[in-house]
């Protein structure tokens, strides 16, 4: 195949996946508002959700992409992953990924490429979340979705509930004295809050310091392979502990540390992502600025991690 034909096919694939993801996330945005996603007139209701979600995903993946280009590391453009929201995933997407096509040249390159995505995505997520909190509609918006709530002394908090991280809780707490803040069981009806929560959750998932996740790249560059491997295993077994304890309430005990979904994530990490990071032959240590930024980013992981992402 000629290079021009190959490039045309490549760009067509990436752009098609982006357009499809725009479509599925817009349908998800409509569905989050309890509207019919198959009614064409409702399509524009999903745009605030889909555009802000795609902004977060694009910031994260292009952060990796441009850092890779800076270090002359061959990489693909982002592959966006569309998922019809009425099937399995109500968010309308499984995220986006890039593929690194050349060896890591140094720990500095590994660190810069690994950290650029989470930082870019985190900044955009916080901006979306703050915008959502500053432009929150009053209770009438929620009543338009749940007319049965009108007249109730307290908004019900049953049903699907998003778990809260320290970071999300802190920002919401700061804003609660000025505006009505919906309970976590209603967050998904507010597109910017929903995307803000989703962005923080995905950022935390990527920063788990295991294998070739972003957090694994950062930790390997900071500490080297031996210590990375030990810490990766600690976090792997913590995730298993979170998943296993979720079954304890079934036995009448109330000491659950997390949800069963962490068992599935642990399986993915073990068999697909792998616990250990591929070795990089480079003895040069990171400079002080990179080390400080790296540990700050690990702090972001701690404050955005959600042991109970979804509660029903």
Please state the separation of Cα 144 from the chain's center in Å: 29
Highest mean pLDDT of the ranges 133-142, 178-187, 200-209? 200-209
Share of the chain above pLDDT 90, in %: 77
**Residue 178 has what pLDDT?**
64
> Which of 22-26, 117-121, 174-178 has the least mean pLDDT?
174-178
CA 137 to chain centre: 25
Please give the pLDDT value at position 87: 78
Q: What is the dihedral of CA 212, 201, 269, 15, to 10 degrees?
A: -60
User: Which pLDDT band holds residue 283 (cuts at 50, 70, 90)?
Assistant: confident
Confidence of residue 152 (pLDDT cuts 50, 70, 90): confident
Tell me what the mean pLDDT of segment 152-174 comes to: 89
Block residue for tokens 């009448």 = 252
pLDDT score of 250: 63
- The mean per-residue pLDDT over the stretch 27-36 comes to 95
Distance CA 64, CA 61 (A): 5
Mean pLDDT of the chain: 92
Mean pLDDT within 177-205:
92
Classified as helix, coil or strand, 275 is: coil
pLDDT-based confidence at residue 258 (cuts at 50, 70, 90): confident
The Cα-based distances of 78 to 10, 156, 208 in angstroms read: 11, 40, 21
In degrees, rounded to 5, the angle at the alpha carbon of residue 131 between the alpha carbons of residues 125 and 133 is 105
The answer, yes or no, to whether residue 6 has pLDDT greater than 80, is no
Between 23-32, 44-53, 155-164, 243-252, the lowest mean confidence (pLDDT) is in: 243-252
Higher pLDDT, 290 or 87: 290
Using a pLDDT cut of 70, give the percent of the chain over it: 95
Cβ-proximal residues to 173 (8 Å cutoff; 6+ apart), any chain:
none
Hey, what's the torsion of the CAs at 157, 83, 62, 79, to 10 degrees?
Answer: 160
pLDDT of residue 156: 83
Q: What is the mean pLDDT of residues 187-216?
A: 97
Of the given ranges (30-34, 124-128, 148-152, 220-224), which has the lowest mean pLDDT? 148-152
List the single range of 169-178, 249-258, 289-298 with lowest mean pLDDT: 249-258
305: which 2 tokens?
């991690």
Predicted confidence band of residue 2 (pLDDT cuts 50, 70, 90): very low
User: Residue 134 in contact with residue 193, Cβ under 8 Å?
Assistant: no
């Amino acid at each position: 195949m000629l290079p021009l034909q190959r490039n045309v096919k490549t760009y067509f694939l990436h752009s098609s996946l982006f357009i499809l993801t725009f479509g599925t996330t817009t349908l998800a945005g409509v569905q989050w508002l309890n509207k019919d996603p198959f009614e064409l007139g409702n399509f524009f209701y999903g745009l605030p959700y889909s555009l802000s979600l795609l902004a977060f995903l694009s910031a994260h993946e292009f952060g990796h992409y441009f850092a890779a280009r800076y270090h002359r590391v061959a990489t693909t453009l982002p592959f966006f992953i569309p998922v019809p929201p009425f099937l399995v995933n109500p968010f309308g997407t499984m995220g986006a990924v890039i593929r690194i096509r050349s060896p890591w040249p140094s720990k500095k390159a590994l660190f810069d490429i690994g950290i650029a995505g989470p930082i870019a995505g985190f900044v955009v997520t916080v901006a979306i979340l703050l915008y959502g909190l500053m432009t929150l509609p009053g209770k009438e918006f929620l009543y338009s979705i749940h007319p049965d709530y009108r007249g109730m002394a307290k908004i019900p908090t049953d049903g699907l509930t998003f778990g809260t991280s320290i970071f999300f809780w802190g920002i919401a707490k700061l804003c609660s004295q000025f505006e009505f803040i919906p309970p976590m069981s209603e967050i998904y009806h507010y597109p910017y809050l929903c995307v803000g929560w989703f962005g923080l959750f995905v950022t935390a998932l990527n920063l788990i310091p295991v294998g070739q996740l972003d957090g694994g790249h950062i930790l390997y560059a900071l500490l080297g392979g031996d210590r990375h491997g030990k810490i990766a295993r600690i976090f792997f077994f913590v995730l298993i502990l979170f998943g296993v304890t979720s079954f304890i309430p079934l036995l009448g005990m109330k000491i659950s540390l997390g949800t069963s979904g962490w068992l599935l994530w642990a399986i993915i990490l073990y068999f697909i992502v792998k616990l250990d990071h591929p070795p990089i032959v480079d003895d040069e240590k990171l400079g002080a600025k990179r080390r400080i930024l790296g540990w700050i980013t690990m702090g972001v992981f701690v404050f955005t991690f959600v042991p109970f992402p979804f509660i029903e």
